[in-house]
Amino acid sequence: MPEVPDRPPSALRAVWQARRDLLPLFPRAAYRHEVMTFRALRRRLLVVNEPETVREVFVLRHDVYGRKSRFMERALAPVIGDSLFINHGPAWAARRAAIAPLFHPSRLGDFHGLFVQAAAELADSLARTGGAVPVDMAAALARATARVVMLAVFGPGVPEEATAELAAAFTDYQDAVESLDLAYLAGLPGWLSGGQGRRARGAATRIRALIERLVAAARPGDGGLLATIRESLAGAKASDTAGAAAPYTASAKAPYTAGAAALGAAGEAAVLVNEIGMLLLAGSETAANALGWTLLLLARDPAALRGCREEMAAVLGEGAPGAEALTALVLTRAAMQEAMRLYPPVAILSRQAARADRIRRWEIAPGDTVMAIPWLLHRHEALWERPHHFLPERFLPEAAKRHRRFAYIPFGLGPRVCAGAAFGMAEMTVLLAVLLRRFDFAVAPGHVPMPRLRLTLRPAGGLPMLATPR
């Protein structure tokens, strides 16, 4: 955990710091307060940090706070356009109804073989190092989880080189993206917002070009979800153009669409690329980050690691993890859940108010930003005993019943909760079960992993580890 300051920085220093990492902005008191306000230039940002208030904003008042914040739209739109993750209103509802059923828990069996394949490929590549040289596990896990989603979407014929290209481009984008909207913070109209810098634009262009190539190369019978996604989006097209507000636009060159039907074939292609980009980003980044932090925490806790391995031996034996056995890995899943409490993959949820509102004693103006910050909520001193310690037993079944509802939100909450949460948990369970049974992991000598919060919560400088075959 990074050093926690005693007091928040000045407004100008906070803006400068936020361009690199958001975590140092949170003072010690932020881990105790229930509602906080931060001043950034001419804007006030409200943070709700108490479970019932989080529920009020993100669940009960979805009609007011259903739209992502300007910060999030600006940061993600160059890659995923006005996809499900960013869109709002009728278009969002139509696309959610089209996409979410593809990853429903009842369909996990369709993907289990992909989880096992990606885990085996990753383990085989680690075995070739013999534990002699450090491996950046953040990058390796990003490739593995991206591989799962690419196989799911495009079928078994998708080249491994495309996976590596995509994961590298996502990393470049994360490192370069400018999430702050200085025009918004200065109180200026949205059309004055600048676009992203050259490096971020280049990475976004590479990501979208790769997806376009894979879509163009796809053929009937490839075996992935691409055709189903295309059909589902076509079915949602009428609602997609039925009256959602135009998405935030930072640049005329950005890949936004107001609706596929309004733009013809080119618009339909852009919508498809947007949604596939969203699936690849959401489905690989969050799972990879959660797994990386889990490996790190278990490597530092021999007792918890031993407990997970004993459970795996009892439940799985020597074979590959079967789909029906995953729910029996109770301690293993608890370790992952505790890792996501301490290091939530998406550590900030931000919304903009559609109209005037009131949250407790604070008046909210239209367009104001309201946030929940899982990094703070998950470490809140009034909600968690020893909040900064790794204690997997918190999430064993009986103990988990005592948690306050909405105190733990690693996959979001409300109508915009992650549609692929069950997919991600199953994928991570398989990968972790394979890796822990085949390797001992240790942080590379001289490296001190530290989290950095930008779009997601990643280890700054990667996660170099030694993976020694057992």
Q: Which residues define the annotated binding site for heme?
A: 418
Distance CA 343, CA 410 (A): 9
Count each helix (H run) and each strand (E run) in the chain, helices first.
18, 12
What DSSP string describes 4-34? Answer: PPSSPPPHHHHHHHHTT-SGGG--GGGGT-S
Residue whose pair of structure tokens reads 């596929």 in the numeric block = 260
- Paired residues of 68 in beta bridges: 351
Q: How far is CA 428 from the centre of its chain?
A: 13
Of 225, 270, 268, 214, the residue nearest 77 (C-alpha)? 270
On whether the CB atoms of residues 196 and 177 are closer than 8 A, the answer is yes
The one-letter amino acid at 142: A
Q: Which residues are annotated as a binding site?
A: 418
β-pair type (43-48, 67-68): unpaired
Distance CA 338, CA 294 (A): 8
> Residues 367, 368, 369, CA angle at the centre, nearest 5°?
115
Count of C-beta atoms within a 10 Å radius of residue 446: 7
Contacts of 12 (CB under 8 A, 6+ apart): none
On whether the CB atoms of residues 228 and 99 are closer than 8 A, the answer is no
Of 94, 127, 353, 105, the residue nearest 236 (C-alpha)? 94
Contacts of 340 (CB under 8 A, 6+ apart): 290, 293, 410
The single-letter DSSP state of residue 102 is G
Would you state the structure tokens that stand for residue 279, as one six-digit string? 């699936």
Distance CA 14, CA 1 (A): 19
Distance CA 13, CA 23 (A): 13
Compute the CA torsion angle 328, 330, 331, 332 (nearest 10 deg). Answer: 70
